[in-house]
Chains A and B, each alone.
Chain A
Amino acid sequence: MMADTQTKEATKNMNMIEAINSALDIMLERDQSTVILGEDVGYFGGVFRATAGLQEKHGKTRVFDTPISECGIIGVGVGMSAYGLRPVPEIQFADYIYPGLDQLVSEAARIRYRSAGDYICPMTVRSPFGGGIFGGQTHSQSPESMFTHICGIKTVIPSTPYDAKGLLIASIEDNDPVVFFEPKRIYNGPFSGYYDRPVEPWSKHDGSDVPEEYYRIDLGKANVVREGEALTILAYGTMVHVAKAVVAEVGIDAEIIDLRTLLPLDIDTIEESVKKTGRCMVIHEATRTSGFGAEIAALVQERCFYHLEAPVERVTGFDTPYPHSLEWAYFPGPIRIGMALKKIMEQ
């Protein structure tokens, strides 16, 4: 799975938080225009500790706390970009991003277009997203398809510490605005979706073997995490791990592709795989209607229609707010995926 360009010299076992912290540290060191801002990211190092130690190391004007104003955080990011900085704001939870939406959607996303390149916005908005932590409806949402629907924003979602670091560095170096959603359920360890089984630490997963130095994983490149012939499963973030666990449990020869970047999407890898397997399933935790799975289904039928042996199957969260106590009945876990596998293979 580590097909990306890099030499694996000094590697270290890292969880996803540590890998993100390492990416930020390296970019602060390499590029003096990089700045980190957000609620509690400075002295405290972030509520999930992603920026721990960075203010002390790089100084208060490079890593700093902000007022509780997502509109302000993203808006000043646009302004800092106009000056020539490369801001990396953190929105504490993806559920809190909405007050900043106007600055993101109407400003950051369009500044290059509307000024014909006079101004750009090389900003990377990091934000923990997704559920599985009993966070209720305001600490569990997966709003990624709201951003893929906006022209001018790239959307990136890592599924391992290794990918998180390489993708975050590439996002920060990208000259366009990137929304970088971090699946908080897997910050400390991959999650199989079998919530009643013991939690596995990252140290047992090869994706936690992370180079200490600089490396990039180019945006727009998916990762085939399991090769197979029976069907193609497309997933990202936490759901990559759930898909792998279910496929292993069911014993089906699925090809599992971790999309990693939703936009720009690696359509070539998807097309090649679906044409090979003839079946396609997309899994996401986000609500179903107008979710990213709908876009995938459309693309696959446009490009692979005559290769398909079954309709594209979507496995998703239900179209309700994320519940608190019934979290596991909501989550698209092994049962839902297992039933969908059965259905798509029987056709």
Chain B
Amino acid sequence: MAKPDKPNMPVLKLHIPEPAVRPGDEADFSNIVVPDVDQIARPDEATKPEDLRELAFGLVRVLDDDGKATGSWNPGLTPDQLREMLRHMMMLRAFDDRMFRAQRQGKTSFYMKSTGEEATSVATTMALSRDDMCFPSYRQQGILVTRGYPLVEMMNQIYSNRGDHLLGRQLPIMYSAPDYGFFSISGNLTTQYPQAVGWAMASASKGDSRIAAVWCGEGSTAEGDFHSAMTFAAVYNAPVIMQVVNNQWAISSFSGFAGGERTTFAARAVGYGVAGLRVDGNDPLAVYAAMRWAADRARTNNGPTLIEYFTYRAEGHSTSDDPEAYRAAEEYAKWPMGDPVERLKAHLIGLGEWDDERHIAQAEELLAQVKAEQKKAEEKGVLGHGLHQPFETMFTDVFEDLPWHLKEQSEQMVTEQRSKFGPDWEPK
């Protein structure tokens, strides 16, 4: 392919991003700069995007290296609120561990944990109003946990069992919970982004007071949907908070393959004229503060915000993934932002509002609660063991009404099952 016809010209080179370390190497995060708390002070929520640009390149922090909450971003939560936040995050972790184990036990086909990223779904949800609308990606089960959605309902969905509100149609963890302001999860990436903007535009057009929040990973910001959403949000000044959970890894691809070598993900906001914040995603108080700032901004018609949470995916992408094949072991142990549960725990202990015994007791209590809910869910079946949804549900909801061809196919299915299970078989 070399072209020696212009030997005096520089040779072009194709750059292929490469992470600093790979399996077998020592985990190394020395390139990550963690600025001091309040390196950039909290601006007024009504500040214009062009006066906020440096926030997209900074890092909002509240908890300092000693676990103390300081600076202008400190949301000033009460000890009760802090304990509630800790409890939700611990519940999420217990839930993830048990469901991951259930998949390994063959009770379902698939699971995705949110370990290390709990603050980005729990603290954010606490900063929203209960009736604000959430458009999650596949790793925000913390929204449901925080809003008190019954764990057994989540498990029923994961098991695709007889109790599954989604009728066994969806891959595990693709929940939908309208009563909890939780939009139906797609398996396709970032499709929820323009949808959240559309919901927010509708809310604004109706003179409502509710706002929308949407999540995606840093890898998915490469999808066109992300950029369409940013354009629409800016054009219509939509009351929406667009969040990028930068957990460093998109399956095996490090954030450099989404453009992370060049700039921050929060900086995507700058080109669109949208407010952008870059936040320590493992500092639950910083996450809360950023979301609260953006929510207040949206609620007062000051426009959309893009927030990047700088965090780390502590586990594999899913139960189908093996991160040891592409990244250094022990990365999470060395992650400079620490662990969100441990940081909040240390903060509460520092305040004299928590201690190790209570922490251990709470972990045990939550695990027992998850196990009890799991038992209830398993009474309604696990994947592949009979207690699935009625067969006829395969054909309902394609449309509101069943057209002739689906009626015919539904009858075909009944005939097929009867040929296997006998003439008395009923589609239940």
Contacts and interface: CB of A to CB of B under 8 A. Distances in A.
Interface in B385-428: 388-389, 391, 393-395, 398, 405-406, 409, 412-413, 415-417, 419-420
Interface string B1-22: 1000000000000101110001
B257 A60 contact: no
Nearest to B189: A68
Interface stretch (B26-34, B49-57, B163-171, B275-283): B163-171
B419 A44 contact: no
Interface in B278-335: 320-321, 325-326
B320 A138 contact: no
B188 A95 contact: yes
A321 interface: yes
Contact of A323 (B174, B224, B384, B394): B394
Contacts of A228: none
Interface in A214-251: none
Contact of B395 (A68, A96, A320, A335): A320
A1 to B, nearest CB: 30
A326 B110 CA distance: 16
A206 interface: no
Contact of B251 (A39, A96, A318, A329): A39
B416 A336 contact: yes
B71 interface: no
Contacts of B225: 99
B416 A61 contact: no
B231 interface: no
Contact of A326 (B17, B18, B388): B388
A136 B251 contact: no
Nearest to B191: A99
A175 interface: no
A25 B16 CA distance: 20
A61 B219 contact: no
A323 B321 CA distance: 23
A39 B188 CA distance: 14
A65 interface: yes
Contacts of B419: 335, 338-339
Interface residues of A, number: 45
Nearest to B18: A60
A329 B409 contact: no
B394 A318 contact: yes
B169 A137 contact: yes
B388 A318 contact: no
A119 interface: no
A139 B187 contact: yes
A40 interface: yes
B253 interface: yes
A323 B168 contact: yes
Nearest to A102: B224
Interface residues of B, number: 57
Contact of A99 (B224, B257, B389): B224
A153 B110 CA distance: 34
Contacts of B22: 43
Contacts of A65: 16-17, 252-253, 257
Given A67-B258, A68-B222, A96-B188, A44 B251 contact: yes
A138 B171 CA distance: 8
A336 B417 CA distance: 10
Contact of A324 (B109, B395, B398, B405): B109
Given A60-B16, A64-B16, A326 B188 contact: no
B413 A318 contact: yes
A69 B388 CA distance: 36
B398 A321 contact: yes
Interface of B: 1, 14, 16-18, 22, 109-110, 160-161, 164, 168-172, 174, 186-189, 219-220, 222-225, 250-253, 257-259, 320-321, 325-326, 383-384, 388-389, 391, 393-395, 398, 405-406, 409, 412-413, 415-417, 419-420
Given A60-B18, A67-B257, A135-B171, 15 more contacts: A42-B16, A43-B22, A65-B253, A67-B258, A68-B258, A69-B224, A96-B189, A134-B110, A138-B188, A139-B187, A318-B409, A324-B160, A326-B391, A336-B416, A339-B416
Identify the 7 closest CB pairs spanning chains A and B, nearest first: A138-B187, A136-B171, A325-B168, A67-B222, A44-B252, A325-B160, A134-B109
10 contacts: A44-B325, A67-B258, A136-B174, A138-B187, A139-B187, A318-B406, A320-B409, A321-B398, A324-B383, A335-B420
